[in-house]
């Protein structure tokens, strides 16, 4: 296969100064005329990329190019012997109506709801026209759109220059947009649709009046104000925290129901999956609504980290994604409790990124080669990439980090750059930052182990830490990485902090000494998860229980609960814990915390998901056993605190809806308590669930009750499922919830999944709907890793391989850890995967399969 290597990077021979696009949409195709003004930068051919295009005409400097003057093969059109200044005029025909891959220019929705949108990152622009479609070619775009008037909404990047009717075709109209910023083609976007718009404005710190618009179907327009507010909050946050103001007169967001990922940061014209922009209390859970705000912020922050400073090549994807995720996480932390934000981010990292790094899909945050770049929009690039930026920010401290980011924006604005450039700007106040480059190059999660020695004679505490990273085949032997370990020493008597320090572990083994420590302390390590590592410290259960009580850092209080749970459920990984210590510690903490910080209290009851536990098992993974142990502990917890549930539930009465951190905390805790009460068979808990459903003031309450009823098989759960369906039938995003609550139910099996896939509302062409069933199903490994479960799951992959290979490949990647299964499941999964290999053709799925199978 065509492997692309980082080490082979070469600058383009030609730059594009301006592009003028004219896109005419017709009933069954579109015609795209482009004019490219290009200037030679170095010796070499003009190389244009193009896929699924019908070339109708090609001229260079006014002269028609016959087929002998250029070569067309393997998605490239190459023109040799071109002069130094070239104007290319290209005409192609494309078919957005049949483009199911949702890349390039495609039709979303159907019937009267259909609309046409683009998705160009990473390599979709080449499906619109022939172009040097690579991120280091920046150009000024002018876009003319022409379509039937049944699509009144004609949008493209930048500013609207002109719009009007076609004189010779009375049912058609056009609009011309000009984007004054230099941009790579992956940030191009256009929309042809019939949408309503919510309008607002924002005046930047530089005095620019910006028109803000959120476009959605008319039925959805009343669900756009959460997103609009988040946009304004993000604009202000970036001014205050990074000194970055918006640079155009207009910022548009468009909601689209068929979309492969969450959203896309196209310059001045973001396109969003409806699930990631629409929100209302009646239809959207708090968790989802919070993530809407975070995604709006993420795409907005890309305007500086990604758009104005972009990536030299796709190997540098983490340059924009890691930094932007770090920025959106920081924004979200400022909107709610920072401890809870950190808990959520770390839980995601552990469940998904640690699993990826431990399996056959492990790759460096900056990969060194790929066949299909779409396969590398991974949690390693995004989330581990963000953790590296966080470690650097913490190492530098707020002031020096800001100096570094100011320098980055000053030096590289308007350029396409590399991770090395980023580190060089950030290192202006501290050269140690450059050492973090190895975090970008080396795959695998480091394991940090340690112990402590206290010498009362000298009043010295010595902490010994060592690090080890597994050797991933195909890469150099791992080196020690710089690992910041935020540490606090707690006095056992008073529970107060005696000393606090950021230790930098940058060798294989190191000792750190604390002088003047009057008694042996309890050490709290990796506070706020200061590095993305696994920690094995020589703790007694009592030390962890002590920290649950006395830690001032909310994140670490959660972390010790997770360490205790892991020591109970995964004894093979190290120390075996006594559940009684964990249960007693929680019983003591919960009543107090519930009234102080309900959201944190809800999180402390977390027991890692079956998938997260599986990620830590390297061999002979038995899904049934893990499920039984996990549920056993959950049951024990529910029973141990049985007396508390009724008190707590009654302390948290349903109230009229409010969107405050406190109200969200109350709703989160109430849902957890309800589930615990049902688990412990608390008398009347079934009725609480029904009443909560019936009297719900918002979706968090209603869906929390429904989920609990379904998972506990409360007698009339089916009636409630039917009621929910009836009530929300017209709302696709809520029906996605209805599918997912069934597909992820504790007692789900292959037959349930089969019937959901055959439901009239199931739609293979809508990734949200596919995910609502098939991705939800993966949360139940005991059902997934069966012959029937795998048959269904791999059938879906085979089915999507042709129509939407990007989604097919992402679904396949979830099976990566098949190799850790105990027999006979391992062999069964192996046979299935080999069978898939015979039946798929996309390079996306083949590349993932080759990695997953180690072939």
Helix (H) or strand (E) holding 165: strand 159-165
133 binds ligand HT7 (CB under 6 A): no
Whether the Cβ atoms of residue 821 and residue 359 lie closer than 8 Å to each other: no
- Residue 264's binding partner out of Zn ion, ligand HT7, none, with CB under 5 to 8 Å set by partner kind: ligand HT7
Selected from 238, 299, 344, 541, the binder of ligand HT7 by CB under 6 A is 299
Selected from 335, 338, 377, 475, the binder of ligand HT7 by CB under 6 A is 377
Q: Nearer to ligand HT7 by C-beta: 121 or 344?
A: 121
Q: Which of residues 322-381 bind Zn ion (CB under 5 A)?
A: 324
Dihedral angle over CA of 349, 355, 360, 362, nearest 10: 20
Paired sense of beta strands 460-468 and 209-216, if any? unpaired
Tokens of 735: 């029906």
Distance in angstroms (rounded) separating the CA atoms of residues 145 and 115: 14
- Bridge partners (DSSP) listed for residue 147: 173
Chain position whose Cβ is nearest to ligand HT7: 261
Distance in angstroms (rounded) separating the CA atoms of residues 140 and 38: 11
Q: Nearer to Zn ion by C-beta: 298 or 527?
A: 298
- Residue 123's binding partner out of Zn ion, ligand HT7, none, with CB under 5 to 8 Å set by partner kind: none
Least distance in Å: CB of 295 to Zn ion? 9
Q: Nearer to ligand HT7 by C-beta: 298 or 327?
A: 298
Distance in angstroms (rounded) separating the CA atoms of residues 569 and 637: 13
Nearest one of 323, 527, 296 to 417, comparing CA atoms: 323
Contacts with ligand HT7, 302-331, as mask; x by CB under 6 A: x------------------x----------
Whose tokens are 């390079």? That residue is 843
Least distance in Å: CB of 234 to ligand HT7? 13
Q: Nearer to ligand HT7 by C-beta: 186 or 539?
A: 186
Q: Which of residues 765-794 bind ligand HT7 (CB under 6 A)?
A: none
Least distance in Å: CB of 465 to Zn ion? 33
- Residue 119's binding partner out of ligand HT7, Zn ion, none, with CB under 5 to 8 Å set by partner kind: ligand HT7
Q: Nearer to ligand HT7 by C-beta: 104 or 623?
A: 104
123 binds ligand HT7 (CB under 6 A): no
Question: Which are the contacts of 665, defined by CB distance < 8 A and separation ≥ 6?
Answer: 597, 598, 599, 600, 601, 602
809 binds ligand HT7 (CB under 6 A): no
Least distance in Å: CB of 120 to ligand HT7? 9
Q: Nearer to Zn ion by C-beta: 269 or 581?
A: 269
Paired sense of beta strands 209-216 and 250-256, if any? parallel
264 binds ligand HT7 (CB under 6 A): yes
- Residue 121's binding partner out of ligand HT7, Zn ion, none, with CB under 5 to 8 Å set by partner kind: ligand HT7
Distance in angstroms (rounded) separating the CA atoms of residues 215 and 268: 13
807 binds ligand HT7 (CB under 6 A): no
Distance of CA 679 to the CA centre of its chain: 32
Q: Packing angle between helix 579-596 and helix 541-550, nearest 10 degrees?
A: 0
- Bridge partners (DSSP) listed for residue 176: 144, 162
Contacts with ligand HT7, 13-32, as mask; x by CB under 6 A: --------------------
Q: Nearer to ligand HT7 by C-beta: 298 or 667?
A: 298
- Residue 134's binding partner out of ligand HT7, Zn ion, none, with CB under 5 to 8 Å set by partner kind: none
Distance in angstroms (rounded) separating the CA atoms of residues 583 and 635: 11
Least distance in Å: CB of 306 to ligand HT7? 7
Nearest one of 251, 220, 258, 276 to 115, comparing CA atoms: 258
Beta-strand runs (E) in 278-434: 310-311, 369-370, 416-417
121 binds ligand HT7 (CB under 6 A): yes
Q: Nearer to ligand HT7 by C-beta: 124 or 789?
A: 124
- Site stretch for ligand HT7 (CB under 6 A), options 219-227, 263-271, 674-682, 796-804: 263-271
Calculate the alpha carbon distances from 410 to 97, 213, 242, 318, 414 in Å: 43, 29, 12, 20, 10
Whose tokens are 């975090």? That residue is 439
Least distance in Å: CB of 296 to Zn ion? 12
- Site stretch for ligand HT7 (CB under 6 A), options 239-247, 257-265, 422-430, 619-627: 257-265
849 binds ligand HT7 (CB under 6 A): no
Distance in angstroms (rounded) separating the CA atoms of residues 551 and 554: 7
Q: Nearer to ligand HT7 by C-beta: 119 or 809?
A: 119
Distance in angstroms (rounded) separating the CA atoms of residues 273 and 120: 15
Q: Packing angle between helix 579-596 and helix 554-569, nearest 10 degrees?
A: 150
Q: What is the DSSP string of 804-819?
A: -HHHHHHHHHTTGGGG
Helix (H) or strand (E) holding 675: helix 661-679
Choosing from 121, 123, 299, 383, the catalytic residue is 299
- Residue 261's binding partner out of Zn ion, ligand HT7, none, with CB under 5 to 8 Å set by partner kind: ligand HT7
- Residue 146's binding partner out of ligand HT7, Zn ion, none, with CB under 5 to 8 Å set by partner kind: none
Selected from 34, 119, 530, 820, the binder of ligand HT7 by CB under 6 A is 119
Residue 299 among the catalytic residues: yes
End-to-end CA distance of the chain: 12
265 binds ligand HT7 (CB under 6 A): yes
Nearest one of 785, 565, 608, 661 to 339, comparing CA atoms: 661
Q: Nearer to ligand HT7 by C-beta: 213 or 383?
A: 383
- Residue 467's binding partner out of Zn ion, ligand HT7, none, with CB under 5 to 8 Å set by partner kind: none
Q: Which of residues 274-333 bind Zn ion (CB under 5 A)?
A: 321, 324
Q: Nearer to ligand HT7 by C-beta: 377 or 512?
A: 377
Selected from 126, 183, 298, 630, the binder of ligand HT7 by CB under 6 A is 298
- Site stretch for ligand HT7 (CB under 6 A), options 114-122, 415-423, 457-465, 561-569: 114-122
512 binds ligand HT7 (CB under 6 A): no
Tokens of 511: 């000792």
Tokens of 764: 């293979």
CB neighbours of residue 132 within 10 Å: 22
Q: Nearer to ligand HT7 by C-beta: 106 or 401?
A: 106
Whose tokens are 């991770």? That residue is 419
Least distance in Å: CB of 157 to Zn ion? 17
Q: Give Dmax (Cα) for the chain.
A: 97
- Residue 622's binding partner out of Zn ion, ligand HT7, none, with CB under 5 to 8 Å set by partner kind: none
- The sheet carrying 269-273 orders its strands as 196-203, 209-216, 250-256, 269-273, 263-264
Q: Nearer to ligand HT7 by C-beta: 321 or 356?
A: 321
Whose tokens are 């308007």? That residue is 414
User: Which segments of 210-316 does DSSP mark as H helices, in order?
Assistant: 225-242, 286-301
Q: What is the DSSP string of 541-593?
A: HHHHHHHHHH-S-HHHHHHHHHHHHHHHH-GGGS----HHHHHHHHHHHHHHH
Nearest one of 622, 534, 481 to 349, comparing CA atoms: 534
Q: Which of residues 408-467 bind ligand HT7 (CB under 6 A)?
A: none
Paired sense of beta strands 4-5 and 369-370, if any? antiparallel
Distance in angstroms (rounded) separating the CA atoms of residues 468 and 437: 17
Selected from 261, 361, 737, 807, the binder of ligand HT7 by CB under 6 A is 261
Q: Which of residues 595-654 bind ligand HT7 (CB under 6 A)?
A: none
Least distance in Å: CB of 229 to ligand HT7? 20
Q: Tell me, by CB under 6 A, how many residues bind ligand HT7.
A: 13
- Site stretch for ligand HT7 (CB under 6 A), options 67-75, 77-85, 261-269, 604-612: 261-269
Active site residues: 299
Which parts of this chain interact with Zn ion (CB under 5 A)?
321, 324
Per CB under 6 A, residues contacting ligand HT7 are: 119, 121-122, 260-261, 263-265, 298-299, 302, 321, 377
């Amino acid at each position: 296969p065509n492997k692309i290597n980082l080490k082979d990077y070469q600058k383009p021979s030609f730059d594009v100064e301006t592009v003028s696009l004219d896109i005419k949409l017709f009933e069954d195709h579109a015609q795209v005329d482009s004019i490219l003004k290009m200037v030679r930068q170095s010796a070499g051919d003009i190389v244009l990329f193009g896929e699924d295009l019908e070339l109708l005409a090609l001229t260079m400097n006014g002269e028609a190019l016959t087929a002998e003057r250029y070569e067309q093969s393997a998605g490239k059109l190459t023109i040799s012997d071109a002069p130094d200044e070239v104007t290319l005029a290209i005409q192609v025909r494309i078919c957005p109506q049949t483009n199911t891959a949702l890349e390039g220019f495609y039709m979303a929705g159907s019937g009267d709801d259909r609309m046409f949108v683009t998705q160009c990152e990473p390599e979709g622009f080449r499906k619109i026209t022939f172009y040097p479609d690579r991120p280091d070619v920046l150009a000024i775009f002018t876009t003319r759109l022409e379509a039937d008037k049944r699509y009144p909404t004609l949008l493209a990047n930048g500013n609207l220059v002109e719009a009007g009717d076609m004189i010779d075709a009375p049912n058609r109209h056009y609009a011309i947009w000009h984007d004054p910023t230099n941009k790579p083609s992956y940030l191009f976007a256009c929309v042809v649709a019939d949408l309503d718009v919510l309008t607002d404005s924002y005046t930047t710190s530089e005095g620019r009046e910006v028109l803000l618009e959120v476009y959605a179907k008319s039925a959805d327009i009343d669900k756009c104000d959460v997103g609009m507010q988040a946009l304004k909050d993000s604009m202000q946050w970036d001014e205050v925290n990074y000194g970055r103001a918006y640079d155009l007169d207009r910022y548009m967001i468009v909601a689209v129901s068929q979309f492969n990922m969450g959203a896309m940061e196209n310059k001045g014209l973001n396109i969003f999956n409806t699930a990631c922009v629409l929100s209302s209390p009646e239809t959207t859970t708090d968790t989802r609504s919070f993530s809407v705000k975070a995604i709006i912020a993420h795409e907005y922050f890309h305007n500086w980290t990604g758009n104005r400073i972009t990536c030299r090549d796709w190997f540098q994807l983490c340059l924009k994604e890691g930094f932007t995720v770090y920025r959106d996480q920081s924004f979200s932390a400022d909107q709610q409790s920072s401890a809870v934000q950190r808990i959520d981010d770390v839980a995601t990292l552990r469940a998904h990124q640690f699993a990826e790094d431990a399996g056959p899909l492990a790759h460096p945050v900056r990969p060194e080669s790929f066949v299909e770049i779409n396969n590398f929009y991974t949690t390693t690039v995004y989330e581990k990439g963000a953790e590296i930026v966080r470690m650097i920010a913490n190492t530098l401290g707020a002031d020096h980090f800001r100096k570094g980011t100011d320098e980055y924006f000053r030096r590289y604005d308007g350029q396409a750059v590399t991770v090395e450039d980023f580190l060089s700007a950030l290192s202006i106040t501290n050269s140690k930052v450059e050492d973090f480059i190895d975090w970008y190059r080396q795959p695998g999660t480091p394991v940090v182990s340690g112990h402590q020695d206290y010498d009362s004679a000298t009043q010295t505490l010595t902490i010994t830490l060592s690090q080890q990273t597994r050797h991933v085949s195909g890469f150099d032997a791992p080196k020690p990485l710089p690992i910041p370990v935020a540490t606090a020493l707690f006095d056992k008597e008073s529970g107060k902090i005696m000393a606090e320090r950021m230790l930098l572990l940058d060798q294989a083994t190191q000792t750190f000494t604390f002088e003047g420590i009057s008694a042996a302390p309890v050490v709290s390590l990796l506070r706020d998860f200061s590095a993305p590592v696994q920690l094995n410290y020589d703790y007694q259960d009592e030390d962890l229980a002590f920290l649950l009580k006395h830690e001032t850092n909310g994140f670490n209080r959660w972390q010790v609960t997770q360490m205790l749970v892991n020591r109970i459920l995964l004894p093979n990984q190290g120390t075996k814990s006594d559940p009684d210590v964990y249960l007693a510690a929680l019983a003591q903490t919960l009543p107090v915390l519930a009234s102080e910080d309900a959201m944190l209290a809800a999180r402390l009851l977390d027991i890692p998901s079956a998938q997260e536990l599986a990620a830590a098992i390297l061999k002979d993974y038995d899904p049934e056993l893990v499920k039984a142990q996990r549920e056993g502990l959950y049951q024990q917890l529910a029973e141990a605190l049985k007396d508390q549930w009724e008190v707590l539930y009654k302390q948290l009465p349903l109230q009229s809806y409010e969107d405050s951190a406190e109200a969200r905390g109350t709703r989160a805790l109430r849902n957890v308590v309800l589930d615990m009460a049902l688990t412990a068979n608390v008398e009347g808990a079934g009725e609480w669930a029904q009443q909560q459903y019936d009297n719900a003031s918002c979706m968090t309450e209603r869906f929390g009750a429904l989920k609990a009823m379904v998972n506990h098989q409360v007698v009339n759960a089916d009636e409630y499922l039917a009621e929910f369906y009836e009530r929300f039938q017209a709302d696709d995003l809520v029906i996605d919830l209805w599918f997912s609550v069934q597909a992820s139910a504790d007692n789900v099996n292959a037959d349930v999944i089969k019937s959901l896939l055959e439901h009239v509302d199931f739609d293979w062409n809508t990734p949200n709907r596919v995910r609502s069933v098939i991705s939800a199903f993966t949360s139940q490994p005991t059902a997934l890793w069966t012959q029937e479960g795998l048959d269904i799951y791999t059938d879906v992959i085979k089915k999507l391989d042709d129509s939407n290979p990007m989604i097919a490949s992402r679904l396949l990647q979830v099976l990566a850890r098949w190799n850790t299964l105990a027999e006979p499941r391992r062999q069964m999964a192996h046979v299935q995967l080999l069978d898939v290999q015979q039946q798929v053709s996309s390079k996306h799925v083949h590349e993932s399969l080759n990695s997953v199978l180690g072939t």
